[in-house]
A and B are shown apart, each in its own frame.
Chain A
Amino acid sequence: EAQVTQNPRYLITVTGKKLTVTCSQNMNHEYMSWYRQDPGLGLRQIYYSMNVEVTDKGDVPEGYKVSRKEKRNFPLILESPSPNQTSLYFCASSAEGLAGVDTQYFGPGTRLTVL
């Protein structure tokens, strides 16, 4: 089954404790992206990756890091989480290069609470 998986699905942590949210896709997609969703603000893009070792900032990258060492994985790293990073996080992937094929597929979300 084609899917995007995220782990963990729920996480409560404390300020300053480094954490990683994993994202994996089994569709051999080139493109992957991280978003955060906050009430009234919609989804905002954090980072994206066009392919292995190619990453770039979205609109809200401060406080986050990413890496793309393998095509299927795109982890989101919070080196020193703060309460304003409490949010619902989504990972997404899509194929690139073919018109009409670049539909984004989303993971189930990770709800993060930073105390």
Chain B
Amino acid sequence: KQEVTQIPAALSVPEGENLVLNCSFTDSAIYNLQWFRQDPGKGLTSLLLIQSSQREQTSGRLNASLDKSSGRSTLYIAASQPGDSATYLCAVRRGTTDSWGKFQFGAGTQVVVTP
């Protein structure tokens, strides 16, 4: 069974520092990996999606890398701002035909960026 882990569970940084969030998964047979942001009391907002054949994706200050062989993805947020404070979750879509529609989420990393 696929297990997805996010460490650390919480992170606090001063404004301007770069953020590095980690996601690890146990089964390399994935279709894609997606990073989400969740604000308190709100739903999830997609940040970046990396297909299994890709190594990284970039959007503005965000960059996500994927290393399937080692079962890791990293989300980098450059020059953090207080508005980046949220919980960040990663989700893995399974890549085998018998589990095509299944997703596994990590428990998330709660980020606080202090002014």
Which residue of chain B is the closest to A41 with respect to CB atoms? B107
Is the CB of A56 closer than 8 A to any CB of chain B? yes
Is the CB of A11 closer than 8 A to any CB of chain B? no
Is the CB of B76 closer than 8 A to any CB of chain A? no
Given A40-B107, A99-B51, A104-B34, residue A45 in contact with residue B44 (CB < 8 A): no
**CB atoms of B44 and A100 under 8 A apart:** no
Residues of A in contact with B (beta carbons under 8 Å apart): 4, 31, 33, 35, 40-45, 48-50, 56, 58-59, 90, 92, 99-100, 102-109
Which residue of chain B is the closest to A45 with respect to CB atoms? B103
Residues of B in contact with A (beta carbons under 8 Å apart): 4, 32, 34, 36, 41-46, 49, 51, 89, 91, 93, 100-108
**CB atoms of B101 and A48 under 8 A apart:** yes
| Additional 11 contacts, C-beta under 8 A, given A50-B101, A108-B43 | A45-B102, A48-B101, A49-B101, A58-B102, A59-B102, A102-B49, A103-B46, A104-B44, A104-B46, A105-B46, A107-B43
Residues of the A chain whose Cβ atoms lie less than 8 Å from the Cβ of B41: 109
Residues of the B chain whose Cβ atoms lie less than 8 Å from the Cβ of A43: 44, 89, 91, 105
Residues of the B chain whose Cβ atoms lie less than 8 Å from the Cβ of A56: 101
**CB atoms of B51 and A42 under 8 A apart:** no
The CA-CA distance from A44 to B102 in the complex, in Å, is 10
Residues of the A chain whose Cβ atoms lie less than 8 Å from the Cβ of B108: 42
**CB atoms of A42 and B107 under 8 A apart:** yes
**CB atoms of A106 and B102 under 8 A apart:** no
Given A108-B42, A109-B43, residue A42 in contact with residue B102 (CB < 8 A): no
> Which among B32, B44, B46 has the greatest number of chain A C-beta atoms within 10 A?
B44
The CA-CA distance from A92 to B36 in the complex, in Å, is 13
The CA-CA distance from A45 to B102 in the complex, in Å, is 7
Residues of the A chain whose Cβ atoms lie less than 8 Å from the Cβ of B104: 45, 59
